[in-house]
Amino acid sequence: MTRFTAPIAESIWDMKYRLKKADGTPVDASVEDTWRRIARSLAAVEAEPDAWEDRFYAALEDFRFLPAGRIVAGAGTGRTVTLFNCFVMGTIPDSMGGIFDMLKEAALTMQQGGGIGYDFSTIRPRGAAVKGVAADASGPLSFMDVWDAMCRTIMSAGSRRGAMMATMRCDHPDIESFITAKQDPARLRMFNLSVLVTDDFMDAVKADGPWDLKFDGKVYHTIQARDLWNRITRATYDYAEPGVIFIDRINQRNNLYYAEAIAATNPCGEQPLPPYGACLLGSINLAKLVTDAFGETAALDEDALDELVATAVRMMDNVVDASRFPLPQQAEEAANKRRIGLGVTGLADALVMVGERYGSVEAARVTERWLKRIARAAYLASAHLAAEKGAFPLFDREKYLGGETLQEMDDDVRAAIAKHGIRNALLTSIAPTGTISLFAGNVSSGIEPVFAHSYTRKVLQNDGSRTEEEVVDYAVQAWRDRNGDAPLPDHFVDAQSLHPLEHVRMQAAAQKWVDSSISKTINCPADIAFDDFRDVYLQAWEQGCKGCTTYRPNDVTGSVLSVTPSAGDAKPEPEESGEVVYLSEKLDRPQELEGTTYKIKWPESEHAIYITINDLVVGGVRRPFEVFINSKNMEHFAWTVALTRMISAVFRRGGDVSFVVEELKAVFDPRGGAWVQGKYIPSILAAIGGVIERHMIAIGFLAGEGKAAAEDPQIAALRAGERPRGPACPNCGQYALRMIEGCLTCADCGHSKCG
């Protein structure tokens, strides 16, 4: 009997987590082999590895404890990858040499599979004087462009693009440019953006007072705080970014308030970290701990929860010793503090299985109780580990117990820490679990509500055809197994039927007992009024959240995988996923074509490069048909001819050819790129990609990076009358992306930029 309860779970295991040889031959014959590989690897650091291996295996078995994807894919493989999910890099110096040293560190970290966060507030604003060179500073956003270009090039752990978070303080002089940066559809696509919001700023917003934008003690501008707040929330309303991070609250409630200062988070926001901070993640699958689901005695087995949490803490603590690190500073930081991020997944499913409606006052109360139980068990387990193996090196008993979070802990927990110390400085975090939740049988993700009760997934077969299969939420399937075709009870709700403030209520309830932070997306309806939308952020602040991320489908960002009610049925039914369709016959070339010629003058190159792009009109839609790249520089001759032929061949095949732009812009010249018109371009090929992109946008074929604005009639006809779907999944091509915990995740193949 297979352990997988859904075909999608087995597919994700095979694609992402199953150990295989270089030629693709499987090493893990079954998911049991994967669990055994992880258990053996993490038990290897124990004094009695055989005994702990079996206990670790039991925790993994049946998907009860879900280490993050980095651990599942990397533990016990012998590969040079980090098992840590997220890093915040070192403080960026306000100097050219220091900035590019940080760029190198970022590349090395992403190469081994780490997502990274940076605070760009330390770079002087645009227009500030640069001493000794008689020039003005280009500002932090220009260097963010450099990071973005680098991230396009680095394939994180050899399999996917890296993920990055950029933060900027609300009082930085360039904050207004930061807020609007991603409104350019071709800019900073590898970044998530968040504004560091301070208590003083929120006080000024409520008082409608003035707000100084300053750097290094100099005030550059003074604006109204409420105007800036409105700009932040309006940008998020229209473009889904930036998010906000309540940075003072994070630092005030940090267990290590006495040893570090935090100014950035990892890409999804659940881990606020100091310079070179690193954290690993793992989740307790609450849906697997419910007894008598939907019955009269349905409940979470809290004794089993205590035992599972204790084992999970020990496993994650061992990861600190078993993992490799891209940089020695990261290894030192991890060893000194032994941070872990134990969280949950399947919360919404567990709630509905015990009869609670997600978002209700009672569901929030139950959530707070469950999360407190997890926190208690985790802190007690870490204290007992400290008695056995020693406290983390920077533990200071008086200061640690004096922290805000520890003062709210139960007396027995505080007594255990006072007696033994504690092994891990911070223990709890709720991370994005989009892919591992699918791996575990499509349980609800993290603390998110169920996104859809079911949807149709298109599966690519070996012969090139696609078949359809239904993907059903774990709790819905459990209801069907128990009650057949009986209608779902009223307390089965999904993300589309919730009020945004119900999302805030659930996030705030969980945050009280999470010592790091929470990755969560507050999904808002497209027609929500701006004032109501803005109130979501104010309520998140008032109710004690450490940050806030929202998503509102609209004409700019597109919609994600969505559900619509069928006629005469209040239950949501899946909207069929679209797919990328390629024309089977190449397009014929007419005698005459319209085109445009562009000139690129590359610094230090004697001759310019000329790019001519000719267009074809098909069914009233204008699309690129061929390209010619020419230069008098003979060193360029061979590759320009090759590029001309290859790109033209792709264009003539028809279909969505916008990926050509992405691939060219991702090319990074190891000898260094160049500054062109105030923007860093990583290579000549990237410059050519930029020209093609601008041309596609100009003719209406491309609305933004990787997103076709106009399509061939054969493609457009398939989607006639449908709402905008947003971008296709870059891994499988399906229009099945949904926003989960701040990160788009494909419901068909599990691809996620965040892990």
Catalytic residue positions?
266, 268, 270
Q: Which of 69, 41, 40 is nearest to 445 (CA)?
A: 69
Could you give the C-alpha distances from 551 to 210, 302, 500, 744, in angstroms and in order? 29, 34, 10, 11
Contact call for residues 353 and 298 (beta carbons, < 8 A): yes
Q: What is the DSSP string of 112-140?
A: TT-EEEEEGGGSPPTT-EETTTTEE---H
Residue 564 in tokens: 């619509």
- Residues whose CB falls within 8 Å of the CB of residue 350, separated by 6 or more in sequence, listed in order: 286, 287, 289, 290, 300, 370
Contact call for residues 746 and 736 (beta carbons, < 8 A): yes
| Euclidean distance between CA atoms 188 and 223, whole angstroms | 26
Q: In terms of DSSP H, where are the helices of 390-529?
A: 397-401, 404-407, 411-420, 434-439, 474-483, 500-511
Answer positive or negative: Cα dihedral of 32, 38, 44, 49.
Answer: negative
**Residue 195 in 3-state DSSP?**
strand
Contact call for residues 109 and 165 (beta carbons, < 8 A): no
Residue 458 in tokens: 């298109």
| Euclidean distance between CA atoms 417 and 175, whole angstroms | 42
Query: What's the gap between Cα 514 and its chain centre?
Result: 19
Answer positive or negative: Cα dihedral of 419, 424, 430, 436.
Answer: negative
| Euclidean distance between CA atoms 423 and 383, whole angstroms | 6
Answer positive or negative: Cα dihedral of 236, 240, 241, 244.
Answer: positive
Residue 374 in tokens: 């997890």
